[in-house]
A and B are shown apart, each in its own frame.
Chain A
């Protein structure tokens, strides 16, 4: 069982940071709602507010790691121009997708949307984390702030979902491959 370093980075970016963000985001939406629902206003220990702040901070870290690793580590491999006369485009995902009319839109719509929309996520979640940490228990007096947080959180979930969906489909149609081979497990002899 082996994997190339580029595939490994793609896994870390998508399945590690990105997918974990998506999971955490649905949790954050519920957590924020439950924390400030009418029934939850009495005798809430301060540690629950600290936990919510820490949870959103961890999500913000995940979001930044996802977009930075995607933009500065994986995307350069994806968009590397194919060397002149290259008969084998497998090492050049963008060129491979554009070479076939059936796969061209995965780049022209999928990657073009993904590479930009993903950047809305760290902006939204960083803002949410800062507000929750700054206001803490006082958020219960600011329903409009809470509404805005929920809207930005849901939007970040949608944006991360778009980026995640296209990331998975792009990697299915034109995987980012190359680099050194990492041997994970030695198979048994037949």
Chain B
């Protein structure tokens, strides 16, 4: 069952008629927020482990690599949001599955920004 065509049964239960906004836009926002959060953690690990990425991440010298790590993550988040919104805005998608993916990415981002966890890599 693809994400685009699947009907989120729980979401459409007990709805009086079909004039409500489909859940696609919300799903796009939620999944992209998970992706953006995970990108913060991923890029910070990459900048920590690779001198090349670290130097590449210095967008603003006084702030150092943090400027590039966060800017890149924010740009990726916005790009993912725009892309998913464009694809899903008029659709009803399987939100339960998308929520699980987004929550997993969010949990990983909390965990992977914790320095002792980062040091495991």
Contact = CB atoms under 8 A, between A and B. Distances in A.
Report if A and B associate in a common complex.
yes
Interface of A: 67, 71-72, 75-76, 79-80, 108-109, 112-113, 115-117, 119-120, 123-124, 126-127, 130-131, 134-135, 138, 141-145, 147-148, 151-152, 155, 158-159
Contacts of A67: 70
A117 B99 CA distance: 20
A152 B106 CA distance: 8
Determine the main DSSP class of A at the interface with B. Answer: helix
7 contacts: A72-B67, A108-B115, A112-B118, A120-B37, A135-B26, A138-B20, A144-B8
Contact of A115 (B29, B37, B66): B66
Contacts of A71: 63, 66-67, 70
Determine the main DSSP class of B at the interface with A. Answer: helix
Interface string B104-120: 00100110011110100
Interface in B59-88: 60, 62-64, 66-67, 69-70, 73-74, 77
A6 to B, nearest CB: 13
Interface of B: 8, 10-12, 15, 20-21, 23, 25-27, 29-30, 32-33, 36-37, 40-41, 44, 60, 62-64, 66-67, 69-70, 73-74, 77, 95-96, 99, 102-103, 106, 109-110, 113-116, 118
Given A109-B116, A142-B11, A152-B106, A134 B21 contact: yes
A134 B99 contact: no
A135 to B, nearest CB: 6
A119 B26 CA distance: 21
Contacts of A135: 21, 25-26
B62 to A, nearest CB: 3
Contact of A119 (B32, B70, B102, B106): B70
Nearest to B36: A123
B19 to A, nearest CB: 9
